[in-house]
Amino acid sequence: MDGFILVHKPQDFTSHDIVLFVRKILSVKKVGHFGTLDPMATGLMLVAVGKATRFFPFFLNADKTYQGKMRLGFSTDTYDAYGKQTSEEDNNYPNKQKLLENMKQFEGTIDQVCPPFSAKKHMGTPLYELARQGQKMELKTKKVRIHYFRLLNYASPFVHFTVKCSSGTYVRSLVHDLGQKLGCRAYLAQLIRTNIGNFHQNESHSLEDIEMFFRKGMKDKFLIPLASILPEYPSLFVEDNTASMIARGRDILDISALKVVPGDTGRSQTGIIQENIYRIFDKRGKLIALAKKNLSQESLHPFLVINPADNNL
């Protein structure tokens, strides 16, 4: 079984829990996810099954969108509701105008430090393990992009917001840093991921529904097949002899006679379209490779080959 599953992650599940669940229910060994969600967070997870895990590079930099709730007044060691309070309660909450002005200052490209309690590793050890041992690490900043950081509702001490950000952004850190800037401190009280690229949580399925559909033999209800991945890229349809060449990783030297179907850029899944990449299908409509066009030679080089013989979609 190969394809993507849009999973709605429940609260208190780790991202690894979701992978283990899908692996067990579908009896598939090769399962991965594109973007970790903290246990406290809920919402959309993009899970890849089988050969779909090889599409990871295309979704690595896909933007994420969240809706969340922060609590003003004090900070926690994990930067969220699961942590221990690390500052005295401060009821000197900002007015709405000051809050808006400070949120605006975080938009654009900013330097961010990941939370001390996170799965990011230092010399092979997750930071949360080092933090639990009381070890304090001086962490490097990294640049992330905040496309927008918008206020949805403010009823002190709670702030409801939405944020669209680059992959790798820690919303917990964003909230913590805002609290520091406001002077009253803050932590993340709730978080829902609504989008990965152009995938939306409304398209996602609960773990219970995935199990039910699978047991009823209705995998089409939850599985996005390989042939439907990356519809923004043009499709090339080839005869069996050419498909055999591609399966061996050989370049296609003459593409002038191949049937080409333009990509549907309006249905881009990643939101980021690379130039001169094609999806290659056999004459039966099965995806067999992704290829990059060599503009100088008018040839195609297959860089991700899927064996058509065992593509069981």
Q: What residues are annotated to the active site?
A: 38
C-alpha–C-alpha distance, residues 240 and 249, integer Å = 14
The counts of H helices and E strands in the chain are 7, 17
The one-letter amino acid code at 114 reads C
Per the CB < 8 A criterion, the answer to whether 42 and 81 are in contact is no
Per the CB < 8 A criterion, the answer to whether 186 and 89 are in contact is no
Sheet (strand 299-305) strand order: 259-261, 235-238, 277-282, 287-294, 299-305
| CB-based burial label for 285 (10 Å; 0-12, 13-18, 19+) | exposed
Closest CA to 150 of 115, 183, 102: 102
Per the CB < 8 A criterion, the answer to whether 53 and 263 are in contact is no
Per the CB < 8 A criterion, the answer to whether 267 and 281 are in contact is no
